[in-house]
Amino acid sequence: MRLRRAVLPLALGLAMLCAVMVAGPATEPAAAARTVTWSAPLAARNGRAAAWAVPSGTVTGPDGRTFFADRDGRVLRPRGLNLGKTDTVTEEHIAQLAGDGFDLVRLNIQWEKVEPHRGRYDSGYLRYLDRVLGWADRYRVLVLIDWHQDAFGPAFGHNGIPAWATRTDGLPFHPNPDDWFADYFQPAVQAAFTHLYDDPDLRAAQQAAYAKVAAALRGHRSLLGYDLFNEPFGPVPGDPTKPDDQIRASAALERGRLAAMYRRLIGAVRSADPDAWLFVEPTVLVGQGVPTSLPGFHDPRPGAARLGYAPHYYDTAVESGADWDPSGRFIERYEAAIGRYPTAHRLPVLVGEWGPPQARTPGNAELIRRQIVSMDGFASGWALWYDCRADSGGGYCAYDRDGSPAPGKEPAFAPYAPAVAGIPGAESYAPATRTYTLTLTANRTTRRAWTLLSLPTRAFPHGVHVTVTGAGPAVVVVAGGSGRAKLRLPAARPGARVRVTVSVR
């Protein structure tokens, strides 16, 4: 896989071009505007960022949605890309991803690579993972380690669970060359999942591998946490091709075998790392509007729990090659299915995978736009599938061959607010006018902490105007060479509605 062009290291906040306090009484009218102008970017240096927002807790908004929060109480909203499944991650990958404004990598790893032979861990692979997180530390990008599997593992031509941990009971496996997902329904694959969930020795081996990785990676500030099991699946009694049988099997799996696995894996990671966030995934049926049946989980760490919910957001018809049709009400059904579980258990939502195979067609391009708006309404963050290049953005690639956003996927590269001192409201970017807007409701955090804005240079190559309304005095700092700006409202009244507008200079 070819890499994108080299970019300069980031220097968020090190070269400050503009720092302005706009004076005025706190009781001035809400319509009052304060404007700051940022001229051309300065040169980046040192490859480090001055302000880095790392999740350490949660904040629950008035609507019941739970957000990541840092030690200052700011709401954190990480966005990024999946990486590592099909290629070796390099420092250049991390630097370029950060240069495009992202602050999250969902790093796909596989048990087969961690422990290729039973009881023998690959020290070279563990050192590689440690290096990747070291680069993420440098560029201040959060990393979600995704324990990835597709159709179980290499015994069936895919990746994930080691061949030595695959038990088929001698049942048949006939791969479908036109539909890899259909391999999940093969008798041998379903037997392998059953043994993984049920056999004590495989349970113990899986727990040991998770603890091994957690021990190797703990202490990295960039380590957000672990997505415990990618796209879980299991045995489907009856006819696995019938939707009703799939739904019944999914509910039974989530309530029983899968829930028990998550409890074991939570304990395994916690035996080595008390601080990482741990994310549970539902089965893929959530994409068809089926609510999860997962129970709540206990986090044995001292202090507040650090648990999250990491569903995927795929339209089955689009995955099969169709152009997205909004009349199918995929987004509405998905939103109805996704919200109850994280609200009931006060979990932040991080969408681990989303995005169509390509977005050149009108329907799929609209799907990209609609999904970003949708996720702003229910999720704390997301990771688009996938960080790669292809002509015309084919094969899920986020980038075109020349390193620009793939056709139709440009909205994923838009400006956003990674950290909000207050409760975030609506957010939008109009590419035609290069205008970004963010609304927030002020709270006590607003007075003392900075709101961070990610303003990629591809959107604002020559500088910006920043306008703040509804908050009285404002401090705005724009960091040259970084595509970042910071905003603080020391006199904002709790409950005040603030609007931030960024436009091209």
Domains, the chain, ordered by start: 1-51+415-505 (2.60.40.1180), 77-413 (3.20.20.80)
3-state secondary structure 165-176: HCCCCCCCCCCC
C-alpha span between 186 and 191 (Å, rounded): 9
- Give residue 392's pLDDT: 74
Residue 171, CA distances (Å) to 187, 190, 284, 384 in order: 6, 9, 24, 36
- Give residue 51's pLDDT: 54
C-alpha span between 27 and 30 (Å, rounded): 8
- Give residue 505's pLDDT: 81
Type of residue found at 57: G
Residue 178 exposed, middle or buried by CB count within 10 Å (0-12, 13-18, 19+): exposed
Residues of the chain falling short of pLDDT 50: 1-32, 34-50
Which single residue is written with the structure tokens 């990610």?
A: 454
C-alpha span between 98 and 104 (Å, rounded): 8
Would you say the pTM of this structure is higher than 0.85?
A: yes
**How many Å from the N-terminal Cα to the C-terminal Cα in the chain?**
37
- Cβ–Cβ contacts within 10 Å for residue 117, how many? 10
Order of strands, sheet of 381-384, starting from the edge strand that comes earlier in the sequence: 307-309, 277-280, 223-227, 142-147, 104-109, 79-83, 381-384, 350-351
Q: Which of 420, 468, 421 is nearest to 31 (CA)?
A: 468
Q: For the chain, how big is the Rg over CA atoms in Å?
A: 23
pLDDT tens-digit readout, 408-434: 999 999 999 999 999 999 999 999 999
C-alpha span between 220 and 275 (Å, rounded): 11
- Give residue 1's pLDDT: 34
